[in-house]
Amino acid sequence: MPTGKKPSYYALLSVFDKTGIVEFAQQISQLGFQIISTGGTAKTLTEAGIKIIPIQEITGNPESFDGRMKTISFQVESGILFDRTNKKHVKEASALNIKPIDLVVCNLYPFEQTVAKPKVNLNEAVENIDVGGPAMVRAAAKNFKNVLVITNPVDYEQTVSKLKTKNIPLTFRQQLAAKAFAHLSFYDSQIANYLNTDKFPNEITLAGRKTINLRYGENPHQSATVYFEPRTNSPLIKLQRLTGRELSYVNFTDIVAGLESVRIFKTPAAVVIKHNSPSGIALGNSTAQALKRAVAADPVSAFGGIIVLNKSLDLKTAKTFANFKEENGILVDIVAAPDINPDAKQFIQTIRKSTGIYTFGQIPSQRSNNLHTRFFDGGFVMQDWDDSSDKKFKQWKVVSKKHPTKKQLQQMQIAWQFIGRIKSNTILVVDKNLPMTRGIGSGQTSRIRAAQIALEQADKLAQGAILASDSFFPFDDTVKLAVKYGISAIVQQGGSINDKLSIEAADQAGIVMLVTGERKFWH
């Protein structure tokens, strides 16, 4: 690195994002670097009064083909790649008149931003695939023991500070190289994903950008961070804490579960989440009404729960929190909604200061990604999202002698939408009149046990209610148990070899049974 004012080292600056590049160039010039630069970067630096060496003076060739050829050359790549600790390399570089480029600053054409445009076409996208930049970055990162590589303006200040000490630790060099390779991998993954026409290609790289540092992981001794995919339209990327507790891994994943439960509804919907699963889901004519119903579905489990709404939280809705505390002693840990009225926020704070209040903006009608990904030790599994569609209701079949009333059919459809985001195996009891759960038996290894939990929770409110099962009945025991509690109608997948027994049990009791022809598991 430079040891005096006399220029004797070279830095190559070629950036699309010019944030801080002028100040950085001024600082390294004072440290003795001669600056080689290209295109728009060269223009920016020259206009700022910084002396630069145009890239063509190094390559011996002009920028050509509308800028497609600028930096790719034997002279540039050699200046970056040769090993300064190898005497043979040093001698060879001198004989070939290769200038040692000891610092490479480069960020790439904005491919991610380009393809995010609604009307972008293939030609425009392809023109924003950087070639020369990645070649320089890769070369510099490979030779990190001799060359510093910067791909993010946030590293300018620390790099200058290290350069001033004239002693740059190998660990720092390696850290910058790792960032460079990650930057390239992220960049290339966006290109591959855009160009790929296969839903499940043989090789895939998932890109993520760190967005939220969580308070801790599933347990306090674990650390955790949230990453988001590029170009995602997920409301969660806009998640903002207005007041109250910061999020842990459990809090965040509970909000995720809550959002999945309410996002499909156009009418006001509310859900109370406990341990990543709903304890109560409800719809209403207003958000306040939906919230009251969701809490009333299981007041015991609502204590310390997380509430997620699909509509803005107004003062009327906020006042229900006071009722929860006064009537049942219920305290809410976190509430998340698209938006919140300032008066509502202040009111909730008077009920419990530590309650975390979060907003996430409007929920888009369609997802930006078509696949649902879940990680395991060593890999991940991808599948289509199972987003509910009203069109599928037309495929349902009445298999019992008794047909549903209009109200029963409406409640069964609501139950089927609710059940799609509750951990399987699930049996769900929905009120006979109101769009709300009365009992949830979820995450059980036995369907009859799930039914027992849901029906016992619903108790007397199971009389005349709707029972939904996210899969078929392997035996008729669940139907017989439902009859004992007074269930009036059952909706289930169908398709078991024992369907006939279950249908016969329904007919003997004089209740309605519909089959959907599809399973509704949520693992």
Residues known to be catalytic:
142, 275
SS3 content of the chain, % helix, strand, coil (to 5): 40, 20, 40
Q: Which residues of 13-24 are buried (b: 16+ CB within 10 A; e: fewer)?
A: bbbbeeeebbeb
Q: Look at the block and give the residue holding tokens 């059940």.
A: 419
Q: What residue type is 448 in one-letter code?
A: I
Strands 466-469 and 437-441: unpaired
Distance of alpha carbon 163 from alpha carbon 167, whole angstroms: 7
Residue 264, helix vs strand vs coil: coil
CB atoms within 10 A of CB 457: 20
What token pair was written down for 404?
């549903």
Burial of residue 123, with CB atoms counted within 10 A of its CB: 0-12 exposed, 13-18 middle, 19 or more buried: exposed
Please check whether residue 46 is in contact with residue 52, taking contact to mean a CB–CB distance below 8 angstroms.
yes
Distance, in Å, from the CA atom of 212 to the CA atom of 451, rounded to the nearest integer, reads 39
How many CB atoms are closer than 10 A to CB 312?
A: 16
Q: At what angle do helices 21-30 and 39-47 cross, to 10 degrees?
A: 70
Q: How does 198-224 read in b/e, with b if 16+ C-beta sit within 10 Å?
A: eeeeeeeeebeeeebebebeeeeeeeb
CA dist., res. 249 & res. 257, Å (int): 12
Burial of 484 from C-beta contacts in 10 A (0-12 / 13-18 / 19+): exposed
What's the half-sphere exposure (Cβ side, CA atoms, 13 Å) at 430?
Answer: 28
For residue 514, CA distances in Å to 329, 416, 470, 492 come to 39, 11, 12, 6
Q: Which amino acid is at 237?
A: I
